[in-house]
A and B are shown apart, each in its own frame.
Chain A
Amino acid sequence: MANSDSSTNPSLVDDDDPSRRDVIVIGAAAFAAIGGAAVLWPLLDQMNPDASTLSLASIDVDLAPVEEGQAITVMWRGKPIFIRHRTAEEVEAAKDVKLADLPDQLARNANLADTAPATDENRAAADKEPWLVMIGICTHLGCIPQGQAVGSYKGEYGGWYCPCHGSQYDTAGRIRKGPAPENMYIPPYAFTSDTKIKIG
């Protein structure tokens, strides 16, 4: 009689099929792991740019007041956009550079294919070569290069000079010397009329 209680009957424990218990243990652990990962994702993803940040995606800029030789800086997605109305000499200087002399030979132009070479045509606005529109952020560690203001030092190549670690950019915004690995990036943009552009 005393042994009829199955919970204390050792023979029943021995009989127990161990593979059945494994299924339960593995199943429960797997369920907990997947559940944990599913909960982790919202906790991580909340840090990504939110809806309001993403919706600030495009701006319109009027270029009419920008004379040849002048440059303006506008903000797009919290980044400075350098717009330079280049002189004929500046365009000429950029065109004269051989592709092989460039540390970064890709155009880095969001409006062209990723593999487009870094020629001046591929860097400048389509069919409007005097206009150069690019993200004014040094590709080394994100400082803002100087060279927008008329009197400022523009570096050895007459484009831009980054004060942080001395990167030098030419008049097409291509890296020529210093630690920056890439040309300054060209944002997605298009001319909406002869003197207006839409960035983003």
Chain B
Amino acid sequence: MAHESTYTPSTGIERWLDTRLPIPRLMHDQFGVFPMPRNVNYWWTFGAILSFMLAVQIVTGIVLAMHYQPTTDGAFDSVEKIMRDVNWGWLLRYAHAVGASMFFFAAFIHTFRGLYYGSYKAPREILWMLGVLILFLMIATAFMGYSLVWGQMSFWAVTVITNLFTSLDTLIPGLGTTLVQWIWGGFSVGEPTLNRLFALHYLFPFIIAGVVILHIWALHIPGSNNPTGVEVKTKSDTLPFHPYFTIKDGFAVVLFCLLFGVFLFYAPNYLGHTDNYIPANPLQTPPHIVPEWYFLPFYAILRAIPDKLLGVVGLIGAIVVLFFIPWLDTSRIRSVSYRPIFKWFFWLFVICCLALGYFGSQAPEGWKLLWGRICTFYYFAFFLIIMPVVGLIEKPKRLPGSITESVLGKKDTSASGGNA
């Protein structure tokens, strides 16, 4: 919540700064005494984990860029040189590649957390939409980064995805082709394409960092949501960010690093596709083009829709629909824990997303295509039909009177009267 500043500069330099660029005051108010609901669980640590992963990607990315060469002849070899010759290059590249996977893993959990606890509902709509924007920018960034390796999967992923725009030719003849040639800087994916993808891959993470700052700003106006979805009412509902949540978030980052480390040191290529160790060949398409795992659900949606243009609309719509959730959910309360009917649809939605991931990795034929289509339908129906309708007809369970009551039981609030 927006709150009165309690900062008092204690040293001369702090007093000097305080009337010029009051960064110590900002840190004190926003990350020191900032009131956090006392009942947030470990799902609330993923914001800190994500900030950490963004830093990991930026630091490893900048050092990789010192050795990487964005030319069609040099790109693949320079990545191999990083792996074999550059001091610690193997560690830096694997950290960046596995780091991207970890980043998405955390982002998906963070997003589902927001969905489950209704963190998109008023007054957190802008906060939620900035989050969706970050997800969108992450998808673009990772797609461009993957292309830089210039292996077979890189090349054909860029070819297939940029060709999606040619579907616009069915709306206005020539529009799609013109647009794609503008994106490519040629008549096919080639050196100009690789060069601009590198320039933009370098730029986008810094845009993400900027949006993250806005995201945290928008968070610190209403303050964090919590597992009950009940707003903070009194001071006893909260604890200061430091030391309680700096320690908790720090501990979660350490645990997350263990998982990161397991992949990084024991299975660095497990999450990738072996075909990307074959240099790009514009004359031969690999038998199966599969995107990285974090794109599979979206890829399944693209392939489930038989029409070229509508497939693209579905692919983009799968993200765009997230922007509208604050207005699609008609429920009076936030947390799914107190929503007996919606709960079932929510978990079915989680299963649906996992299933879409599986179908995205499979050839779109037979029963897999059919189920891919059913899941695609459910994905959109969940937001466009179930959310508005269930919110209206469902009778939520009784909410706890306050956050304190949910933690300490009812007895405490009646006894401690002082909060009234």
Q: Which residues of A contact B (CB under 8 A)?
A: 44, 47-50, 53, 73, 75, 77-80, 140-144, 146, 162-166, 179, 181
Q: How far is the CB of A199 from chain B (nearest CB, A)?
A: 12
B185 neighbours in A (Cβ, 8 Å):
47-50, 53
Question: With A49-B187, A142-B163 given, can you name 14 additional A-B contacts, CB distance below 8 Å?
Answer: A47-B183, A47-B185, A47-B192, A49-B184, A50-B192, A53-B187, A75-B283, A78-B188, A78-B189, A141-B159, A141-B163, A143-B160, A143-B289, A146-B285
A48-B188 in contact given A142-B160, A165-B303 (Cβ < 8 Å): no
B170:A181 contact, CB within 8 angstroms: yes
Q: How far is the CB of B168 from chain A (nearest CB, A)?
A: 12
Q: How far is the CB of B244 from chain A (nearest CB, A)?
A: 49
A162 neighbours in B (Cβ, 8 Å):
285
B285 neighbours in A (Cβ, 8 Å):
143-144, 146, 162-164
Q: How far is the CB of B260 from chain A (nearest CB, A)?
A: 33
B283 neighbours in A (Cβ, 8 Å):
73, 75, 80, 144
Residue in B156, B162, B166, B365 whose CB lies within 8 Å of A143: B156
B308:A49 contact, CB within 8 angstroms: no
What is the bound-complex CA distance between A89 and B245, given in angstroms?
76
Q: Flag B262-299 by CB within 8 Å of A: 1 or 0 each.
A: 00000000000000000000111111110000000000
Q: What are 10 A-B contacts with C-beta separation under 8 Å?
A: A48-B185, A49-B185, A50-B185, A78-B189, A79-B187, A141-B163, A142-B162, A143-B289, A163-B285, A164-B160
B159:A78 contact, CB within 8 angstroms: no
B186 neighbours in A (Cβ, 8 Å):
49, 53, 77-78
What is the bound-complex CA distance between A26 and B188, given in angstroms?
44
B170 neighbours in A (Cβ, 8 Å):
181
B166 neighbours in A (Cβ, 8 Å):
142
The chain B residue sitting closest to A45, CB to CB, is B182
What is the bound-complex CA distance between A179 and B312, given in angstroms?
13
B282 neighbours in A (Cβ, 8 Å):
75, 78, 80, 144
A141-B160 in contact given A49-B181, A163-B288, A164-B289 (Cβ < 8 Å): yes
The chain A residue sitting closest to B180, CB to CB, is A142
Q: Flag B194-212 by CB within 8 Å of A: 1 or 0 each.
A: 0010000000000000000
A49 neighbours in B (Cβ, 8 Å):
181, 184-187, 192
B156 neighbours in A (Cβ, 8 Å):
143
Q: Indicate the member of A50, A77, A179 with the most B CB atoms within 10 Å.
A: A179
Task: Confirm or deny: B32 has a beta carbon within 8 angstroms of a beta carbon on chain A.
Answer: no
The binding surface of chain A is classed by DSSP as loop
What is the bound-complex CA distance between A179 and B303, given in angstroms?
10
Interface bracket on B:
20 to 34
What is the bound-complex CA distance between A77 and B192, given in angstroms?
13
B163:A77 contact, CB within 8 angstroms: no
A77:B187 contact, CB within 8 angstroms: yes
Q: Flag B338-358 by CB within 8 Å of A: 1 or 0 each.
A: 000000000000000000000
A77 neighbours in B (Cβ, 8 Å):
186-188
Q: How far is the CB of B373 from chain A (nearest CB, A)?
A: 14
Q: Indicate the member of B186, B190, B192 with the most A CB atoms within 10 Å.
A: B186
Task: Confirm or deny: B391 has a beta carbon within 8 angstroms of a beta carbon on chain A.
Answer: no
B160:A179 contact, CB within 8 angstroms: no
> Which residues 319-368 of B sit at the A interface, judged by CB distance below 8 A?
364-365
Task: Confirm or deny: B12 has a beta carbon within 8 angstroms of a beta carbon on chain A.
Answer: no
What is the bound-complex CA distance between A92 and B364, given in angstroms?
33
Residue in A44, A144, A146, A179 whose CB lies within 8 Å of B308: A179
What is the bound-complex CA distance between A148 and B196, given in angstroms?
33
The chain A residue sitting closest to B302, CB to CB, is A141
Task: Confirm or deny: B214 has a beta carbon within 8 angstroms of a beta carbon on chain A.
Answer: no
What is the bound-complex CA distance between A141 and B165, given in angstroms?
9
Q: How far is the CB of B21 from chain A (nearest CB, A)?
A: 32
Task: Confirm or deny: B164 has a beta carbon within 8 angstroms of a beta carbon on chain A.
Answer: yes
Residue in B163, B181, B287 whose CB lies within 8 Å of A48: B181
B160:A47 contact, CB within 8 angstroms: no
A140 neighbours in B (Cβ, 8 Å):
163, 308
Task: Confirm or deny: B418 has a beta carbon within 8 angstroms of a beta carbon on chain A.
Answer: no
B182 neighbours in A (Cβ, 8 Å):
44, 47-48
Q: How far is the CB of A49 from chain B (nearest CB, A)?
A: 5
B190:A78 contact, CB within 8 angstroms: yes
Nearest 3 Cβ contacts at the A-B interface: A78-B188, A142-B163, A77-B187
Q: Indicate the member of B160, B183, B196, B287 with the most A CB atoms within 10 Å.
A: B160
Q: How far is the CB of B356 from chain A (nearest CB, A)?
A: 17
A163:B287 contact, CB within 8 angstroms: yes
The chain B residue sitting closest to A180, CB to CB, is B308
B286 neighbours in A (Cβ, 8 Å):
163
